[in-house]
Amino acid sequence: QKYHCDACEKDITNVVRVRCAECPDFDLCVKCFSHGQELREHKRDHAYRVMEVLNFPLYEAHWGADEELLFVEGLEMFGLGNWDQISEHMGGSKTKEELDAHYKNVFIQSPRWPCPQATGVFDKATSRLTNRAQHRQPVQFTTRPPASQPVNHEIAGYMPGRGEFEYEYENEAETPIKDMVECEIIREPTVRLRTAMLSVYNTALERRKERKKLLFDRHLTNYRKIQAAEKRRDRGEKEIHNHLKVFARLMTAQDHEVFVAGLVKEAQLLERIEQLQTYRRMGVATLKEADEYEQHKEYHLQAMRPHLRELHRNSFRSSRAPSPATPGTVVTAATATATALRKLPQPLDISNHEGYDLLTEPEQRVCSRLRLAPRAYLVIKQTMIREYQATGSMRRRQARELIKIDVNKTSRIYDFFIEMGWIKR
C-alpha cells in the first residue's frame, strides 16, 4: 500500500509519517507536520500518531513486519493456498514458493500452532530491511480469466441442449394429469374424464409448440442480437415494432420484416411530407432556400433565447406583483429583438483550420455557415455514414440521437447528406 502526504503529495510509504487520529485517512510527512499544515477539516491541534515503517523482521530474517501484515491480510481475503493472488496483494515482494515455505515454517511448524512463534532474536535498530527492493526478483503475475457473464440461453431461460425453457408456455399444463395411474377396471365416466383431460393437455402442447417455433424461426433466443437491433432504432421505429409484434404469428418471418419495414418507411415519408409542407407554407420552394431558412431559423432562435428567458422572468415577477403595463415596455422589447436580429452570427472563416483542404466546396460552405470546424465535421460525417451502412437507412431523429451537438446543426447536416446522396431515409 502506498502513502502520500496530503499536503505536499510526496511519497511517504517507506519513511516515518504522521497520521491524524481525528481525520480519516489523513497522513503528513514530518516536514509538513513540523510546519503545522492545515487542510480542509484538519487542524494543527488534532491528536496524532507517529507511524513508523515496519521494515524490521519478526519471524524470519528476510520478512519484514509490514510483509507479515500483508500476508495475513491476503490469507483472509483470498484463502489458504491461493498464493498467486496473495503475492499480487503483497505487490510481488514474495513469490508463491516463498509464501508457501513461509507459511509452513512459521505457522505449521510452530510449537504454538496455529499462532506463530518468534524464535529468532533481531535487533530492531540494526536489522532494517532497507535493501529489499534491490534483491527483489520480478514476479510474473498470472492473468486470471474474467468473471463469467450470463450467456444468451441463461438470460432467456433457454436450455439449448434439451430444447426447452426453464418456464414453458402454460407451465402448469402437466399438473392435472401428473397423478393419473393406470387401472385394470376403469368406469366409463372416468374414461371420458381422462380423455378430455388428455385432449386439453395435447392442445396446450400444440400451443406451446407453435410459440417455440415462432421463437426459433425468428432467432429470438439470441438476446444480444435483439438488444443491438433495439439500440439502433429511434423512438418512432421502436413504437412501430412494438405495436406490430402481435401480427408476427400470422405471417412468416420474412413477410413480417417486409411489413414492418413498409410501415416504418411510410412514417418516414409522412414526416418528410410534413416538413416539406411547412417549407411551402413559409414560402420555401427549393432545397437551397430550405437550407437558408433553417440557418436563419437557428440564428433567430439563438438570438431570441436570452430575451425570451428575460421576458419569462419578467412575466413571472409580474404575476406575483402585478403592475400596469406601459407602452415603453413594448417598445423596449421590440427594440431589443431588432437589435438581436441585426447581430446574427456571421459565417465562420475556416480557411485556416486544420482539415479544410479535405472538404469539397459544398462541405466548406456548410461548415462555414454552421460555424463548424472541419475536423469535427469529418468525424460527424464518418459516424453517420458508418451507421447508415450498418442499418441501410437513417432518419432525422436517429441522426440527432447519434450526433450529440445542437439539433439544428444536426438537421442541417442530415439534409445536406440527403441532398448529396450519401445517405437515404
pLDDT tens string 136-180: 555 555 555 444 444 544 455 777 777 777 788 888 888 888 877
CATH 1.10.10 for domain 65-135, yes or no, is yes
The model's confidence at residue 263, banded by pLDDT at 50, 70 and 90, is very high
C-alpha cell at 398: 436517429
Instruction: State the average pLDDT over residues 348-367.
Output: 85
Instruction: State the average pLDDT over residues 225-242.
Output: 83
Q: Report pLDDT for 87.
A: 83
* Residue of higher predicted confidence among 125 and 299: 299
CB-count burial class (<10 Å; 0-12, 13-18, 19+) for 302: middle
Instruction: State the average pLDDT over residues 386-407.
Output: 84
Fold classification of 356-420 is: Arc Repressor Mutant, subunit A (1.10.10)
Instruction: State the average pLDDT over residues 338-354.
Output: 64
Distance CA 220, CA 5 (A): 57
Distance CA 48, CA 52 (A): 13
* Residue of higher predicted confidence among 170 and 64: 170
pLDDT tens string 65-84: 777 777 788 888 887 777 88
pTM for the structure as a whole: 0.37
pLDDT exceeds cutoff 90 at 317: no
Residue type, 389: Q
CB-count burial class (<10 Å; 0-12, 13-18, 19+) for 188: exposed
Distance CA 153, CA 159 (A): 6
Q: What are phi and psi of 112, to 5 degrees?
A: -105, 25
CATH 3.30.60.90 for domain 1-53, yes or no, is yes
Cβ neighbours for 157, distance < 8 A, ≥ 6 positions apart: 165, 166, 167
Cα dihedral across residues 410, 413, 415, 418: positive or negative: negative
The model's confidence at residue 259, banded by pLDDT at 50, 70 and 90, is very high
Instruction: State the average pLDDT over residues 35-58.
Output: 79
Q: Report pLDDT for 120.
A: 58
Instruction: State the average pLDDT over residues 84-90.
Output: 80
Q: Report pLDDT for 313.
A: 65
The pairs formed by 33-39 with CB atoms below 8 angstroms and a separation of 24 or more are 37/7, 39/6, 39/7
Contact predicate 359/377, CB 8 Å: yes
C-alpha cell at 166: 426453464
The model's confidence at residue 339, banded by pLDDT at 50, 70 and 90, is very low
